[in-house]
C-alpha cells in the first residue's frame, strides 16, 4: 500500500534524545504512514538507535536541507512532514493533521509550543504562531508539511546553511495558501535555556532581519556560529 504520509526526521548527533523521540512516534506508524530518519554523519549512536524504530534509515551529507531533501527523494507518501528530532508530535496534533490532509491541502504547518524553563517561552511561542499566520512563513520547528508533487515542483529545500525553511515557504507561498494545524507541536526549548532567553530571541530576530535585508545565508551562518561559540 502506498503511504499517505511520509514523516522525515533529520538527525545529527541526537543519541541523547533520539530513542525517546522516535518511540513517541511509533503510535503514528499506521498502514498509511511511513517514518524515515536521515542521518547527516553522526559520530554518536544516532543511526544505530534509529534503525529499528523507523521504516528507513538513510545517510546524507550534513545539513538539514540536504538531509530533508534526501528523505523526500526516498519517500513514497503523497504528503511529506518534516519533523525536527527535538520536536514532539502528540496524538492530538497528529489526528488533527490527518483530518486536514483529508481535505487535500497543498502545504502548511503546526502551531508550536516550547518546552523549557524560562517563563517567557509561552510568549515566545505565541509570537511565533502569530508571526507565521500573518506572514505566511513558518520555520522548521513548526513541522512543515507539503504535498510531495508540489515539494518536488519547487525544487525542494534550497541547500543553504541557514534559512532553508524560510526560503522553501517563500516558494510554496507562491504556489498556494498554507493551512495551519492548531493543536501545537512541542519543540524543545534547550537553545533558549542554554543560550539565554533574551540573547537567543535577539539573535534569531537579527538573523531573520539580515536575511530579509539580503544578507546571504552563508554569511549569516558564519555570524551565527561565531555568536554561539
The CA radius of gyration of the chain, in Å to the nearest whole number, is 17
**Does residue 93 lie in a domain region?**
yes
Contact 77, 3 (CB under 8 A): yes
**Does residue 202 lie in a domain region?**
no
**Does residue 227 lie in a domain region?**
no
**Does residue 206 lie in a domain region?**
no
**Distance of alpha carbon 15 from alpha carbon 47, whole angstroms:** 8
For the chain, residues with pLDDT lower than 70 are: 1-2, 224, 226-229
Q: Which three cell numbers stand for residue 13?
A: 548527533
Q: What is the pLDDT of residues 102-112, one digit of tens each?
A: 999 999 999 99
Measured in whole angstroms, the distance separating CA 106 from the mean position of its chain's CA atoms is 17
Residue 112 is predicted with a pLDDT of 97
**Does residue 208 lie in a domain region?**
no
Q: How many domains does the chain have?
A: 1
Say what the pTM is: 0.93
**Does residue 137 lie in a domain region?**
yes
- CATH number for position 75: 3.90.550.10
**Does residue 134 lie in a domain region?**
yes
Residue 73 is predicted with a pLDDT of 97
Residue 1 is predicted with a pLDDT of 54
Q: What is the pLDDT of residues 170-184, one digit of tens each?
A: 999 999 999 999 999
The CA-CA-CA angle for residues 201, 202, 206, to 5°, reads 120
Domain that holds residue 92: 5-193
Residue 39 is predicted with a pLDDT of 97
Amino acid at each position: 500500500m502506498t503511504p499517505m504520509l511520509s514523516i522525515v526526521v533529520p538527525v545529527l548527533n541526537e543519541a541523547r534524545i533520539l530513542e525517546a523521540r522516535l518511540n513517541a512516534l511509533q503510535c503514528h506508524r499506521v498502514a498509511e504512514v511511513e517514518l524515515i530518519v536521515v542521518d547527516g554523519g553522526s559520530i554518536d549512536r544516532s543511526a544505530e538507535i534509529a534503525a529499528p524504530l523507523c521504516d528507513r534509515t538513510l545517510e546524507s551529507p550534513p545539513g538539514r536541507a540536504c538531509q530533508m531533501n534526501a528523505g523526500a527523494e526516498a519517500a513514497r507518501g503523497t504528503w511529506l512532514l518534516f519533523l525536527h528530532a527535538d520536536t514532539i508530535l502528540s496524538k492530538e496534533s497528529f489526528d488533527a493533521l490527518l483530518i486536514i490532509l483529508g481535505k487535500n491541502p497543498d502545504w502548511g504547518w503546526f502551531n508550536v509550543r516550547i518546552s523549557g524553563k524560562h517563563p517567557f517561552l509561552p510568549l515566545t511561542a505565541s509570537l511565533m504562531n502569530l508571526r507565521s499566520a500573518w506572514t505566511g512563513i513558518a520555520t522548521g520547528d513548526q513541522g512543515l508539511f507539503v504535498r510531495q508533487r508540489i515539494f518536488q515542483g519547487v525544487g525542494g529545500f534550497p541547500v543553504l546553511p541557514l534559512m532553508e525553511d524560510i526560503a522553501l515557504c517563500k516558494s510554496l507561498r507562491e504556489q498556494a495558501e498554507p493551512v495551519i494545524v492548531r493543536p501545537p507541536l512541542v519543540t524543545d526549548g534547550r537553545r533558549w535555556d542554554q543560550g539565554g532567553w533574551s540573547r537567543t530571541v535577539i539573535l534569531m530576530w537579527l538573523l531573520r532581519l539580515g536575511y530579509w535585508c539580503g544578507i546571504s545565508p552563508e554569511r549569516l551562518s558564519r555570524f551565527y556560529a561565531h555568536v554561539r561559540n
